[in-house]
Structure 1
Amino acid sequence: MKEINEFEYIPISKLLEILTALDIPFLLKEKGIPINSNHIESASIDNGKINSRELILNSVITLIIFESDNKLIKDKVRNARHDIYNLINTSLLGFDYIKSKFSLKNDIHRCEVIEKNLNSVTRLLETVFDESNQKPKEQFLLNKVLLDLARIFSTAISKDKNFVYSISDQEFYLSGIREDIFNSVLNLLINADEATSENGAIKLSFEVDEHAKIIVEDNGSGISIENQQKVFERGFSTKNKKHESGIGLFNVKKIIEEHGGKINLDSKENNYTKFDITFTQNVIRANQTGAKTILFADDDEMLLELIYDLLSSYDFKIITVKNGNELISKFNNEIDLIIADRNMPNLDGISAVKEIRKMNNKVPVIISTGLTKDESDIDSLKNYNNIHFIDKPYNFEKLLNLINSII
């Protein structure tokens, strides 16, 4: 079976090139043995004393990324973060709109490949740049996560095996961490692949009625009654291996429960194994929109155009402006929501919002914020009501969720 990892669409060599270009220390290990490093000291700092993040690229290769202790390197990386994110996320924002304009499958497929490449780079950068170990929670469409996973897995599994999937198109949203759900179901699929012999059958299905149900089943070796009582215990495995091939069923169960779900096992030794995952709560749907008017301010013309097209496709009326002065001049009491970039020429978004609050103290406002050490301007808004914040560069799904929760 081919390698399956969070960065499926980027070769390991390319990951190392990115880290080397940013001068970020890393250590690459194969079966626990160091095989590559971009800093001489990286091989000796793998001792837990320096902050690090470990990425399991496949069953034998592990990449450890270290926090540099060089202030110049740290500053260079932090300064690069905003520009890199803007370039990638501005490109990503337009893909849904671009794909809607194509009718040929080949054109749509090319867009999807580029989109997945950019998403993979974004996940790598989030791992490198994130200064906390807490992953941000968001609302995400469970159908899309499973469909992406099924397509990736179908290209990676051996052609001798029969992998089929059936994903309902009825929307079901979860609130939590997308990558954790992706990796949990991936772990079940990897286990199914390892449990089946040549010509074995694996099925992934997703059904939505009153609840949402994910089913992973195979006709492989099955699990004994004795082991069925232990499979979700920490550290338990029926595999005789020197290295792990996934996150483990203990962690799968923990992640599912953290997202408000339940997982059940049904298996018969030498016959079949079936995992059922059930989620009962469909959170606020991100496509519930209305004919509301949004005044959107940003000095990035390409971003203005993309956001205009995307939000217009959800039946919002969009008015775009390029700076704080235009924001003030275009505002009227028919505006249902203001979205303003924190940093704009002539007059910044926060100063403009303060002026608008003198005219209307009720209109909801979303301030988009980038990376900065000075938070004093944000603190100055604490006494104003109905002010919301979102990180920039934008994640369109997060932005749409926030909009729908406000108006």
Structure 2
Amino acid sequence: MSDISFVRTDMLPEQEPPATTVGFVGWARANLFSSPLNAILSILSIVAVLFVLSVILPWAFMSSWNATSLTDCREQIAAAYGPDHHGACWAVIKDRWVQLVFGFYPPYPIDGTAHLGSPPEGAWPAYFRPIATFVLILTAVAPVLFDKLPRKMLLITAVFPFLMPWMMWGGTFWNPVGAMLGFGIGYLAYRFIAPIAGSLAGVIAAALLPIIWWLFLMGGFASTMQSIIALDIPTVNSRKFGGFTVSIFIGVVAIVGSLPLGIILALGRQSDLLIVKALCVGFIEFIRGVPLITLLFVASTLLNIFLPPGTEFDIILRVLIMVTLFASAYMAEVVRGGLAALPRGQYEAADALGLDYWKAQRLIIMPQALKISIPGIVSTFIGIFKDTTLVSIIAILDPLGLTAGIRANAQWNGIYWELFAFIAFVFFIFCFSMSRYSMYLERKLKTSH
């Protein structure tokens, strides 16, 4: 019987993959034209997108940037592109961008009023305070978002919640100092009382004493220190806040405040203490069952009814409290979902290591729960930032609220889409940035393969 076995002695040389399986062509074949149905749907979608772009792009780019009114804008577009062309009048953005960004915030708040034309001698640069506040926001959140930055920058993060309101509203510098002292009093109260009377008594003292300080003693402290060392800047009324300044201000405060409150509420909802659990569940379910606009109406109109006569409660401060509480209820459910997703073995491992409740939460449970909850947390942040536009309903002039005044002006009466397109674009930049950072953080913290 003859031997017909064959053993290869030479390997075939490597070849490039077929051109139809790599690059854009390969991606299109795999994702757009993988079957007859997908091919039909892809072609219809491409035609629809091209049709929309054929309408939007000429309107957006064959436009006017230098007109002084809507009539002048239309005349310039007709002269440049023909009488039948309807282009965008971006000149309204060029003319009113300062108002859309800063609202009616005084550009030179030396004496608390706006100075038109040239600034008076010695005046601060235009809109120094809101611009400096925005820079402070970026500086404060940078070490939290990116761990490669120097840890010393966290000092700026710690003082940011106290400096930001002072820079925007003004007044004496001793108000933020007094607010910081309240937290110091709470910390010292816990350190001294907890070892003597127990942790529960320490927590109650740490919460109660700062409230007493802020409500009854801080005002006298600030007045006394101001009389000794005068450090103040002009006060700006909340009704002058507006534009993207107020949207960013409310959004940042609500985002920063809602995450720790949401974590506390999520832990309280899972607590074995009946009173704590009942309070947390009741708060979360009530807030989640009421529309935000209802809470804003309560903050703007009904809240003063329950306050003593003559009490002044700043409208922006009321909105900040309501939006933060509203966001914290939703954040609590997001964090609770992350806690529920953890295997029971993680809790048992913490117990086996001999960790107490708070150390277990800080070192083992909460880092993993927050990592799982990143998409939901960022989605809640994006929702909070977009919901700041609802404040226009209670007469706070955010960008949407300002559009009504701009369109009522005789120069720009009748303009519409350009203002809303610009506002939508700015909101998209902020929200898209948060979404990209969320994806970056998920990739960075990914431990599974």
**Does the alignment reach a TM-score above 0.5?**
no
Provide the TM-score with structure 1 as the length reference: 0.24
Q: Return the structure number with greater strand share.
A: 1
Provide the TM-score with structure 2 as the length reference: 0.22
Larger-Rg structure: 2
Q: Return the structure number with greater helix share.
A: 2
